[in-house]
């Protein structure tokens, strides 16, 4: 016996029922020793004995249930997810149109019956129309639901697809009973029910896919802060090759340096990379040479850039604002800051807080329970009035009432809201928090928030807007506030520093006009020196001034 482990990204999951369906299917598969399904990650992890079952058979279980296995490549997987979104949107449009037309038919019928919502029509064109709409909805956009329900039933699994189709086909059966068996039985009402609940299921699955896709994009947006490539600097002693490499890359570093563009994933601890002004720092490291202001708000929330000198650390994904830096890599791969953040977000999404675990336990018995209640409701009205008619407690089998009761149980017992609402709320919440720089370490954090009375923050940068702004301008001796602002803005016109932008924004907001300086020089890490109206002006750190 040799245990193997495989992991797949699965498409088509919408709620906890889907995860539970796959769990049950693999638990009943010979050769599978363990299985773990994550709705948040849309991932399946299977451990199996390769002498008893092959990997092809492992994949077939997923596909037989009606789900898909996505490509392991991230870009192709993203494209497949977009295709699923487009298909879901197309199914939703078709079913929505059918539901709207069905609703209009119902409105016409109610109006013709004096606004009696319980009355039925004898107009057969309405019967044909509502039946056609039900069949189109169930067997065109809803065909995949029927296939999933059939495949689940083959394995003895009762899930949301089985319950939905039980309700949809019960609606068809009820309408046909009224058409051919019981006079005055609600034909249109039953057919329309089949259309409505199928549309609702398609809407639920599409909503689930949109929520999970947006939550995943929050993590992708975070990882996009890291550039795909970095300029790695090496010294190999081959002066001609080094010179050619430097010339082709446009670098003006040490002529003994070789600078090459490499994927960030190939960087190792100890490598040296060069970062130009305006670029994102590709990876965590320590400054070897150069001085610059670096915007680290992605990690700290602080709006003001941090001045970096040799010996200080920089964080991957932060923005190098002013000077060129030579950085030595101190962390790579999964140890890098952005990768750690992304992993923690994913782990938080995958965790199941107590409320989700409770919902999962309920779902195991929910569908069999609803089907049993529907069957008992029909049996009650079919049997009890019949056997008790002789003693004055009934008047014979009440099949019509039994059909009503059974259909009501099937329709109102539709479970996707139960299996979807709680986990999707947590997934969506985690994604929204990530977009705002808030990392949720566990799903339980969402549950305890209503009970939080006090929040302690370690620094003000945590709650700033992330953009520096001038708060106060103080006049000096004979120079009033407007003159101080005019002089500072003029000196900062050609500066690329974010604090210079804040000064210029303040001047614009106060309608202060300022000329371009006659001379300008930027002193990296300290400030600017300019000539304004013939006078030398320094703007920068107090110590430098």
Residues acting as catalytic residues: 458
Q: How many CA atoms lie within 13 A of 336 on its CB side?
A: 26
Largest Cα separation within the chain, whole Å, is 115
CA nearest to 490, candidates 461, 523, 519: 519
Alpha helices in 237-306 (DSSP H): 239-249, 297-300
- Dihedral, 52, 54, 59, 62 alpha carbons, nearest 10: -10
CB atoms near residue 229 (< 10 Å): 15
| DSSP secondary structure letter of residue 390 | G
**Rounded distance, CA 102 to CA 228, Å?**
52
Radius of gyration (Cα) for the chain, nearest Å?
33
Give the C-alpha distances (Å, rounded to integers) separating 132 from 97, 173, 487. Answer: 13, 14, 77
Q: 489 near 503, Cβ under 8 Å? A: yes
Q: How far apart are CA 35 and CA 22, in angstroms?
A: 9
CA distance 443 to 350: 8
Up-side HSE of residue 468: CA atoms within 13 Å toward CB? 18
Per DSSP, the three-state class of 426 is helix
Q: Do 271 and 283 touch, CB atoms closer than 8 A?
A: no
396: left (phi over 0), alpha (psi -120 to 50) or beta: left
| Residue 247 to residue 236: CA distance in whole angstroms | 16
Helix axis angle, 124-139 to 160-180, nearest 10°: 160
């Amino acid at each position: 016996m040799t245990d193997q482990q495989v992991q797949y990204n699965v498409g088509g999951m919408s709620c906890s029922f889907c995860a539970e369906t796959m769990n049950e299917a693999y638990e009943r598969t010979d050769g599978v020793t363990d299985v773990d399904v994550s709705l948040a990650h849309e991932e399946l992890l299977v451990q199996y004995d390769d002498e008893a079952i092959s990997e092809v058979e492992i994949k077939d279980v997923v596909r037989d249930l009606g789900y898909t296995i996505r490509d392991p490549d991230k870009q192709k997987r993203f494209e497949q997810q977009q295709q699923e979104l487009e298909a879901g949107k197309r199914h939703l449009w078709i079913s929505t149109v059918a539901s709207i037309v069905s609703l209009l038919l119902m409105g016409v019928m109610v109006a013709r019956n004096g606004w009696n919502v319980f009355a039925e029509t004898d107009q057969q064109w309405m019967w044909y129309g509502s039946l056609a709409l039900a069949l189109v909805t169930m067997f065109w956009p809803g065909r995949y639901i029927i296939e999933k329900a059939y495949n689940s039933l083959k394995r003895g699994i009762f899930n949301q697809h089985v319950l939905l189709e039980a309700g949809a086909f019960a609606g068809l059966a009820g309408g046909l009973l009224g058409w051919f068996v019981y006079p005055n039985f609600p034909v249109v009402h039953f057919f329309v029910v089949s259309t409505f609940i199928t549309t609702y299921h398609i809407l639920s699955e599409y909503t689930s896919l949109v929520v999970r896709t947006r939550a995943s994009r929050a993590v992708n947006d975070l990882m996009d802060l890291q550039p795909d490539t970095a300029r790695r600097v090496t010294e190999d002693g081959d002066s001609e090759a080094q010179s050619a490499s430097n010339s082709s890359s446009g670098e003006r570093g040490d002529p003994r340096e070789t600078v090459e563009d490499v994927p960030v994933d190939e960087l190792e601890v100890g490598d040296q990379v060069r970062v130009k002004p305006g670029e994102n720092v590709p990876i965590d490291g320590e400054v070897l040479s150069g001085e610059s202001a670096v915007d680290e708000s992605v990690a700290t929330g602080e709006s003001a850039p941090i001045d970096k000198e040799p010996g200080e650390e920089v964080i991957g994904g932060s923005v190098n604002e002013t000077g060129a830096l030579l950085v030595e890599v101190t962390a790579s791969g999964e140890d890098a800051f952005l990768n750690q953040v992304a992993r923690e977000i994913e782990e938080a999404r995958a965790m199941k807080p107590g409320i989700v675990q409770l919902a999962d336990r309920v779902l195991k018995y929910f569908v069999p329970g609803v089907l049993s209640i529907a069957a008992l409701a029909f049996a009650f009205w079919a049997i009890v009035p019949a056997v008790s008619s002789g003693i004055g407690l009934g008047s014979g089998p009440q099949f019509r009432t039994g059909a009503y009761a059974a259909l009501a149980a099937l329709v109102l017992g539709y479970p996707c809201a139960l299996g979807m609402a709680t986990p999707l709320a947590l997934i969506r919440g985690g994604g929204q928090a990530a977009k705002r720089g808030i990392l949720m370490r566990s799903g339980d954090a969402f549950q305890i928030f209503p009970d939080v009375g006090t929040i302690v923050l370690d620094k003000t940068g945590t709650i700033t807007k992330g953009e520096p702004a001038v708060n106060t301008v103080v006049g000096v001796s004979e120079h009033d506030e407007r003159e101080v602002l005019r002089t500072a803005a003029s000196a900062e016109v050609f500066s690329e520093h974010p604090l210079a932008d804040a000064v210029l924004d303040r001047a614009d907001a106060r309608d202060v006009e300022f000329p371009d300086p006659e001379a300008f020089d930027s002193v990296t890490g300290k400030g600017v020196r300019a000539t304004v109206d013939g006078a030398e002006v320094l703007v920068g750190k107090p110590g430098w001034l």
